[in-house]
A and B are shown apart, each in its own frame.
Chain A
């Protein structure tokens, strides 16, 4: 995948190099920034942060990027928020990539076939859904869990289901659902406060495009001769998926995931900007922008700093993804 020739192609791609540089700079900033800043991200400094007329002071010696309305250091807040934002975006992308890869590979592998689902699993899922509808959440969870456990424990043949059609219609339905509403709803269900719930929410809703892409790629791979050969040699379906299909779809997966990080940063900052992201006082880029925008005539740095940070981060990951695409998948460039 990323052999020396691919690396050479990456090194020659201007957007790839620029993207890698921006991303590296961002990571450095997020890691070292909070330590370099003279202030904590939540500390108000009334002595040095307050300028004439009670307004926050602009960029200067004490505050490299100025102070905000509560006389906190914008630089320290920007770095802390960046740390959080990068962490959330990366972790959410990992979740989304894992989910999307799983659904995509399973769906693509079984495309056009009916898969036997063990009876306990089928009954468990049906009971779970029924109990959910009747408002018995506890019963639903127990039924679904017991069904799954029984299914794993004893694999009895059951009803044959077109798994691919089922999964793809689920993807269609979720894509037909307004993406932000979905994220907000899941966020509200999870109490929507901490970074953990944020990244779980984004990960649980961001896998749809990846699943579609990997399904198409898997359908190409499963038709290849060596897959047939390994099956003839007696490898199980799971082994083939892990050893032959996954490595062969890893290239497009990495490229999409890189671009997805950019999308996650956008989604994270949009949610914070709409006021449904991580709760204050924890700094986030979106929230800093929201709080700063009313003062942008008097204190333009309050908008410029988080705005540029978001733009740079998203741009950097987009360019990195573009460079990786040129390197890994030159035909599709």
Chain B
């Protein structure tokens, strides 16, 4: 429990540091958000007024302190759009007597909307894409990896391993363009990009981005499962299982795959964390309005509060899944750690 508390404390430090980096970047970057908001034709006096409204005239340290003080605080029970300006970017999450607990990441410079609301709209979309993408890559990767391991050394094994390296080498936007060409331009089965307006539309629009993420990620899982299964299938208990007359697929599934689940679940957890920050490239190519697409646009628009908000969500997601995976893993198998490098999708 002590170990857990320490891990938790360090996780909080990492989130704090990531958000601080985001904050520092926002203040250090060249360019003037007030000028971006007011437009190129605005008079200097107007630019100054907007700068004051956005709180950009204060020293960065003051803005920074204000950001954290504002993150969770108490305020009136109902937040009115045109109410008190100090609660303009707030969302009341938990009523508490006459007042309520407010959560605020500030107000977007460009969209004039509380950042919490903007993120709340987009988070489910990114979640849907992450889950769908992970499902695709899991099923593709486990199937190919198992197959390659069972047929070790055969041409199909070499082909699958070679293809997986090719898959790792294909940037997501290449996969995306290829899928768009085949399924949207040629076959006309699925929409090219976008989000749609009905639930069925959303589902149809989700297929290609999910496939893109899945194909890209499956390559990694193929290798992981194959390497794991090669070790597992050499174990004595597998020979015993064959000896007592179990059919091959039962040996592979029950005595092999089940034991390979631990590293796969670990990798899945870590992937989920990084996907929750938004698959920036995939979302941009398919115009899927999730967090990744939001964060890129906010960065280009110098919309500081939105960038910070996206970083908060990403950092919390990554740190939380890392923590969860560590805890689950420590319980299941205290020996191994899975190192990962940052990937671009």
Contacts and interface: CB of A to CB of B under 8 A. Distances in A.
B342 A179 contact: yes
Contacts of B166: 311, 315
Given A15-B165, A175-B318, A176-B318, A296 B18 contact: no
Interface of A: 15, 130, 132-135, 137, 169-170, 172-182, 184-186, 188-189, 191, 208-209, 212-213, 216, 262-263, 266-267, 269-270, 273-274, 276, 289, 293, 296-297, 303, 307, 310-311, 314-315, 318-319, 322
A171 B74 CA distance: 34
A267 B14 contact: no
Interface band, chain B: 35 or more
B344 A318 contact: no
30 contacts: A132-B24, A134-B61, A135-B61, A172-B14, A172-B319, A174-B21, A176-B14, A176-B318, A177-B18, A177-B311, A177-B315, A178-B295, A179-B342, A179-B344, A181-B307, A181-B311, A184-B296, A184-B299, A186-B25, A188-B31, A208-B341, A216-B339, A266-B171, A266-B344, A273-B281, A274-B284, A297-B185, A307-B174, A318-B165, A318-B168
Contacts of B181: 296
A313 to B, nearest CB: 9
Given A135-B27, A293-B177, A176 B15 contact: yes
A209 B311 CA distance: 20
Enumerate the 4 nearest inter-chain pairs by beta-carbon distance, A residue then B residue, closest first.
A209-B341, A133-B61, A173-B17, A315-B169
A266 B339 CA distance: 21
A interface secondary structure, majority: helix
Contact of B344 (A133, A180, A186): A180
A266 to B, nearest CB: 5
B281 A180 contact: yes
Contact of A191 (B22, B30, B169, B278): B30
B interface secondary structure, majority: helix
Contacts of B280: 178, 180-181
A273 B173 contact: yes
Contacts of A189: 25, 28-30
Contacts of A296: 177, 181
Contacts of B13: 169
Contact of B299 (A133, A169, A181, A209): A181
Given A189-B25, A212-B339, A267-B344, A322 B18 contact: no
A188 B36 CA distance: 15
A134 B165 contact: no
A270 B281 contact: yes
Given A134-B60, A310-B174, A318 B169 contact: yes
A222 B136 CA distance: 43
Nearest to A185: B25
B314 interface: yes
Contacts of B314: 176-178
A299 to B, nearest CB: 13
A263 B170 CA distance: 11
Given A185-B299, A266-B171, A269-B171, A169 B281 contact: no
A274 B296 contact: yes
Contacts of B75: none
B310 interface: yes
Interface string B1-40: 0000000001001110110011011011111000000000
B22 to A, nearest CB: 7
Contacts of B29: 185, 188-189
A34 to B, nearest CB: 24
Contacts of B59: 133-135
A141 to B, nearest CB: 12
A213 B339 contact: yes
B64 interface: yes
B300 interface: yes
A135 B277 CA distance: 29
A187 to B, nearest CB: 10
Contacts of B278: 178
Interface string B270-312: 0000000110110010000000100110011000000100110
Nearest to A290: B173
A188 B171 contact: no
Contacts of A130: 61
B95 to A, nearest CB: 32
A181 B310 CA distance: 10
A25 to B, nearest CB: 15
A257 B171 CA distance: 18
